[in-house]
Structure 1
Amino acid sequence: MSEIKRTEILFLYDVQNGNPNGDPSDENKPRIDEETGQNIVTDVRLKRTVRDYLFNYEGYNQDGVKDIFVRQTFVDKDPEKGLNDGKNRAKMYKNSAKNVLEACIDVRLFGAVIPLDKSSITLTGPVQFKMGRSLHKVQMQYIKGTGAFASKAKDKQQTFREEYILPYSFIAFYGIINENAARHTRLTNEDIEMLKKGLWNGTKQLITRSKMEHNPRLLLTVTHESPHFFIGELDKYIKLKTEMRDEELRNVTDFSLDMGALKARINGLKQEPKVEIYDHDPLLVLEEW
C-alpha cells in the first residue's frame, strides 16, 4: 500500500433554484451568514453526499463486508422493529474497531465515534472539511404553492406548500487529508479516489426536489511531499470576476473564476507540490491559471 501524503482539496459546485443545506431549527431555510450574506453549507451535508453516492452507486452497501457505517439500518433488517442505534451498529461488527475499519470506507475517511456497551471508541478522520461558503452574497426567496393533498380527508381545499430557496449559489469547500490520522484509520489511496468520485458524481446525483440543480464545477487537489506542511484555506485564494451584483448571479456563465492568487501561492512554495485537477466543467471559465 502506497503512502498517504498531506493533500489539500478545493471543491467548487453551484446550486440553482434550490436549498443547498436547510437549517432544521429555522424552518429549513438555507443557511446564510447574517454578517456577510454568504450561503453556508455544513461539512456534514457534504459528507452525506459522499456516503450516499458510495452506498448507492459504488457497492458500499454490504453489511459487514463493504459498507457505510453512518447510515440508517433497521433492527434485524425489519422496518417494523425500528432503526438501529449506534450501539446496535457496533454490535454488527462485534464491537471491534478493527472490523469497522476493514469494512467501512466512511470511517476510514471521516472517522467516527463507535458506541460500545459501557464506553466508546473515537476515531479521528483523516479527511476533514471546513464549512462551505458561497463566493458571493446570496438572496433568499420565499415560494408558496399548493400541495397535492387536502389537509384532512373531508376537506376539498388543498394544503399550501411553503419553501425557501436560493436562486443561485456558487459554493467553495476546502478540505485536507491528514497523513498522520490516515495511518490510524488505514486509509488507502483507493479510498481517496472514491472520495473524489463521491464529491463529483455524488453532487450530480443530488436529485431530490430541493437539490435538483446541483452541479460540480471544479475539483482540485494539492499534494505535498513535505510531511505536515500545507498551504491552508485554498478557497481564500480564489474570487469571482463579474460586472453583475452578487445577488443578480443566476448561472455559472455570469462570471469567471480568478485563480491568479492561488497559482502564485503554489508557485512560490520552496518545494513544488503535485497539483491535479480531478475534473473541471468547461462552463466555469478559469482565469490566471
Structure 2
Amino acid sequence: MSEVLKNKVDFMMIIEVTNGNPNGDPDMDNAPRTDIETGHGLITDVCLKRKIRDYVAKRKTGEAGYGIYITAGIPTNRPEAAAIDATSEETKEKQPYEAGEIVKKYLCDNFSDIRTFGAVLTSLSKNNLGDGRVNGPVQLCFGRSVDPIDPQSITIDRITVASEKEAEAKSSTMGRKWIVPYAVYTVCGHISAEKAKKTGFSEEDYELLMEALLNMFDDDASSARPDMAVRNLIVFKHESATGNEKAWKLFDRVSVKRVSEGPARKFSDYEVKIDTEDMPAGVECIIK
C-alpha cells in the first residue's frame, strides 16, 4: 500500500441519466427520489457509495486489503468478530480503548470501504472495546438534478406466466417501471487528509476512488438504469491537509446550465463551464 493521502480534496461529478431511475424511493412506490418542494431529482449518498463498493469489489477481487465490509447478505458482526479474533493475541493485555483501536486498524487495513467511508462497528462497543466509530475521510453529498425532473410511470406487460393456473386463464401480469426521460445531476464530495491518516486511506486508495467515480455506472447497467454515465469529474486538490480554499468557493467555479429550449434530451442541451482562471494559491483543478 502506498503512503497515506496528504492533501485535502474536493470534487464534483456531473452525471446524466437517460430513460432510467437513478435512485428509487421505496416509500414512493420506487419512484425516482425527488425534492418535494422544488421537483428536483435526488440521488442519495448511500446509493452512490454502493456503486463505488461494487466497482472496487470487481476491480480488486481477491486482493488483500480490498475486502468490502458492507456486503449484501453478510451480517456486519461477522467480519467484526473475525477481526477481534485475529487481533486477540495483540490485544489481550491492552486496556479496552487501546484494544479497540487495534481492532479498528485491522479492519481499516483489510476493508477498503471502512478505510474510505468509515463504519459503526457495533461488536466493539458490545465487547467493551471503545465506541466502535470509524470516521471515514470520504464524504459524498446528495446528488441533485440541474433542472426539475418529470418522472414517468411506464406500464409493462409480462407475457410469460408463473403458474399453471395463470396458463389456463391465459392471463398475463401487468407492472410498472419508473423512468426519468433525461436529466443531469451534480454531486459534490470531500476527502479529508486528517481523517485519511486515521484510517490509512492512501494515495493508491485515492486513485482507485477516482477511477470508481468515473466508471461506476459502466458495468452497472440494468433494466432500471440502462443508461447512466459520469460525464465530468472535476477535482480540486489542495496542497495542504486542511485546505487552501473553501469548498463552496471552488464549487462555484463550476456552472451547469440548460442552453436549449424545450425538454432536455441529450447532454449537449446543457453547457458546462469550469472557471480555471486565477485559481487560489495551493489549489489544483483537475478535469477528468
Q: TM-score scaled to structure 1, two decimals? A: 0.83
With over 3 angstroms needed to count, the CA separation of the structure-2 counterparts of 1:144 and 1:3, relative to structure 1, is closer
Q: Give the unaligned 5+ runs of structure 1.
A: 73-82, 280-289
- Which residue number in structure 1 is paired with residue 270 of structure 2? 255
Pairing 1:173–2:182 present: no
- Which residue number in structure 1 is paired with residue 99 of structure 2? none
- Which residue number in structure 2 is paired with residue 183 of structure 1? 197
8 A Cα contact 2:139 2:189, kept in partner:
yes
Q: Give the unaligned 5+ runs of structure 2.
A: 86-102
CA distance in 2 between partners of 1:109 and 1:65 (Å): 12
TM-aligned CA deviation for residue 66 of structure 1: 3.0
State the Cα deviation string for residues 178-220 of structure 1 (Å, max 9, x = none): 1111111111010010001111111212211111101110112
Decide which of 231, 240, 246 is 1:217's aligned counterpart.
231
Amino acid at match of 1:7: V
- Which residue number in structure 2 is paired with residue 282 of structure 1? none
- Which residue number in structure 1 is paired with residue 68 of structure 2? 68
CA distance in 2 between partners of 1:235 and 1:20 (Å): 23
Decide which of 52, 55, 79 is 1:89's aligned counterpart.
79
- Which residue number in structure 2 is paired with residue 121 of structure 1? 132
Decide which of 89, 95, 100 is 2:107's aligned counterpart.
100
Secondary structure at 1:93 match in 2:
helix
TM-aligned CA deviation for residue 149 of structure 1: 3.5
Amino acid at match of 1:187: F
- Which residue number in structure 1 is paired with residue 30 of structure 2? 28
Secondary structure at 1:5 match in 2:
coil
By relative contact order (CA 8 Å, sep 6+), the higher-ranking structure is 2
- Which residue number in structure 2 is paired with residue 18 of structure 1? 20
- Which residue number in structure 2 is paired with residue 240 of structure 1? 257
Identity of aligned residues (%): 26
8 A Cα contact 1:241 1:258, kept in partner:
no
- Which residue number in structure 2 is paired with residue 200 of structure 1? 214
8 A Cα contact 2:258 2:270, kept in partner:
yes
- Which residue number in structure 2 is paired with residue 276 of structure 1? 286
Amino acid at match of 2:286: E
8 A Cα contact 2:258 2:271, kept in partner:
yes
**Matched positions, count:** 259
8 A Cα contact 2:66 2:111, kept in partner:
yes
Secondary structure at 2:29 match in 1:
coil
Amino acid at match of 2:16: D
- Which residue number in structure 2 is paired with residue 154 of structure 1? 165
CA distance in 1 between partners of 2:239 and 2:256 (Å): 27
8 A Cα contact 2:16 2:183, kept in partner:
yes
TM-aligned CA deviation for residue 90 of structure 1: 1.1
Pairing 1:110–2:120 present: no
TM-aligned CA deviation for residue 3 of structure 1: 4.5
8 A Cα contact 2:177 2:224, kept in partner:
no
Question: CA RMSD, aligned part only?
Answer: 2.0
CA distance in 2 between partners of 1:243 and 1:208 (Å): 29
Is 112-121 or 28-37 further displaced after alignment?
Answer: 112-121
State the Cα deviation string for residues 82-128 of structure 1 (Å, max 9, x = none): x4322123123236222211111111111111121615511011000
With over 3 angstroms needed to count, the CA separation of the structure-2 counterparts of 1:196 and 1:65, relative to structure 1, is closer
Q: Which has the larger radius of gyration?
A: 2
Q: TM-score scaled to structure 2, two decimals? A: 0.83
8 A Cα contact 1:173 1:235, kept in partner:
no
With over 3 angstroms needed to count, the CA separation of the structure-2 counterparts of 1:184 and 1:2, relative to structure 1, is closer
8 A Cα contact 1:149 1:158, kept in partner:
yes
TM-aligned CA deviation for residue 255 of structure 1: 2.2
8 A Cα contact 1:43 1:129, kept in partner:
yes
